[in-house]
Amino acid sequence: MRGRYVVELWRRKQEGRPVSEWRLKPRHEMSPQESARAYWTFEELHALLEQLYDKWKPNRRFAEQCFLEVFHALSYRWLDESHPDPEGFHLDIVGAVSELRLMEDGVDSTGEPNTLSGIVFAGTKIQHDFALFWDYCSLVRDPRTPEDQALLDQGMRYSSFWYGHANTTV
């Protein structure tokens, strides 16, 4: 999920909009337009990595470390059996922290990068953002087709990467 989208949902909640306009929902319940706003595509992430490889060649390892600066994973307790955050308790916290994370654009008053995040996005064609693994939104929920179940199984296997990688912020 895009950090900017989390902030968008949180701001809607802060404005007092109806629950249907800010409540978290799984990706498969979103319209294609909302999904495109909410989630990074493989192509976008791959383009960022390629731009970092170009920027930091021949130091590919540093480029990969910069790339991993973009990723965060959320670990939290579900507040209801049917929905992890029915009243937006977690969204209030994660939205505020996400906004702070995005405010840290990583450049000083002269426009030079002064944080790792600034280094990652400086000179790329990609807007400063981050990727958040929020399992409820990212993994397929009930009801599931056999194809959906296969995607969920694969997602559960790979979710340990999000939580366990040395360069992921949890």
Residue 123, in any domain of the structure: yes
Residue 170 inside a domain? The answer is no
What pLDDT was estimated at residue 96?
Answer: 93
56 in a structural domain? yes
Whether 18 maps to a domain, the answer reads yes
Domain total of the chain: 1
Evaluate whether residue 169 is within a structural domain. no
* pLDDT tens, residue order, the chain (170 aa): 999 999 999 999 999 999 999 999 988 889 999 999 999 988 998 998 999 899 888 899 988 888 888 888 888 899 998 899 999 999 999 999 998 888 766 666 676 766 667 777 777 777 788 889 888 888 888 888 899 899 889 888 888 877 777 777 77
Pick left, alpha or beta for residue 130 (phi over 0 → left; psi -120 to 50 → alpha; otherwise beta).
beta
Residue 83 lies in a domain: yes
pLDDT recorded at residue 23: 95
CA 62, 164, 127, 155 dihedral sign is: positive
In a domain, 160, yes or no: yes
Cα of 115 vs its chain's centroid, Å: 19
Q: Examine residue 8 and state whether it is found in any structural domain, yes or no.
A: yes
Q: How much is the pLDDT for 33?
A: 95
Interhelix angle 60-68/42-56, rounded to 10 degrees, is 140
**Domain containing residue 43:** 3-164
**DSSP string over 51-100:** HHHHHHTT-HHHHHHHHHTTEEE-----SSSS-S-TTSHHHHHHHHHHHH
Distance between the two ends of the chain, CA-based, in angstroms? 14
pLDDT score, position 146: 92
pTM of the model: 0.83
Q: What is the pLDDT of residue 128?
A: 80
